[in-house]
Structure 1
Amino acid sequence: MLTIRGLSAGYEGAGDVLHGIDLDIGPGERVALMGRNGMGKTTLLRAIMGHVRNRSGRVALDSVDLAGRPPFAVSNAGVAYVPQGREIFDDFTVEENLRLGLLGKIGMRARVPEAIFARFPMLGERRSQVAGSMSGGEQQLLAIARAVIGAPRLLLLDEPSEGLQPSIVQSLVATLRAVAGEHAMSMLLVEQNVSMVVALTTRCLFIENGCIVDECDSARLRDDRALLDRYLSV
């Protein structure tokens, strides 16, 4: 599925943020990426998606080489991205935001399939509502629905629980598990909410100073306080 070998990447005019990243995610596997702020979590997602320049290494989705491709080509290859902060269009309606998830999809028309509204019924009830008037949890569901509308093979999520109350996070986990199961979709989740990581993923990677330095079964995070302190405490 996703294979990364020796990936180094950074921003224009600055040094590398990522250093020799090696990473594998299998078909249907859901993996978390955890670490302190500023360690390279978001940069890794952006490098996979083509938003950050990859200076060396290989990024591939099955046999498709993604390194150096622009974001629209990475998307067409089967990768979707829900960035931190959601980045929906506040002045667009729910349906208009969802249509944006179809732009550039080969063989698809810019019409929202009813199956999306069946999976996200709240969005179906509010398809004509302006997105900026929705709650944070509702906007996060919209961002996820927009990402999965094209049935991606790999979904990248950056801090999806940020700013959400626990009951909304639980609902979000249930929705993501259902969507992933329906489409045999793999996931790479950047998240600091340990409960969400344990509920949604099976494996957790830890990143420090742009390098993957450790990994464990996600279930271990329930009880291993020392591990969390080592990689997450400030």
Structure 2
Amino acid sequence: MNNTSSTLTAKSFCFLVWLLGLFCQEVGTCDVPWERYGRNCYRYYASVANYDDANANCAAEGGHLVTTKTGDVHNFVMALRPSGGDMWIGLKDLTGNAMTMGPAGDWQWADGSRGPLNWQTWAASQLGGSCISQDGTQGNDWLRNSCTSQFAYMCQKPLGNNDGLWRKTRTSKQADSNLSTKTEYASTLTECAIKCLGEPSCIAFNIGPSVLGRHECVMFDNYGKDDNLYTDNDDWNFYEFVQ
């Protein structure tokens, strides 16, 4: 369910469905094939473009070129992209001095924020240029390039907001799939629901009793033929996603 109208807020909607025996949790999700990290969604594009065209393509998707402002984001991006070759990131030197080789410059990130750069990782060998790529041949460090160069790129956009609506049942429709055997651990029901929504194909989950403050969270991506009925004394609870 998308954002509710002005006459029915997300909080009042969740209260109403709680009265109906449903579980509602507002969470953030990324559309397939975008990947979530923190409060943003990321997607790699293998098709090449110059810096401005790549950023325009990202803007058409509701975002901008990726901004690797911290080492943690840099490492995530490095793991998400294929190895080798250059990839545009959203960083540009506004001085326009194409002969500059080092980190000095008037820096602007693709999200509009300006320098100084609080975190940076420059490749040892520099070509010169105003736009920055991640160099897959030099440990994914930053490399100055001409903004007209044609490279792959990665887009970043804010996490979307969906209202996750779940129905609790006494019937667990087991699934014969890889997700049916995937078990993670969560400290709360909400966390288990968010983990399920983080899996693009997850449609239901079982959550077990608390053991030392942790619950088993078993996720499913399709319904099987057989139903497993639980008694009122069963410590496990089954929730299925309601579109």
Structure 1-normalised TM-score? 0.27
The higher-RCO structure (CA 8 Å, 6+ apart) is: 1
Structure with more helix by fraction: 1
Structure with more strand by fraction: 2
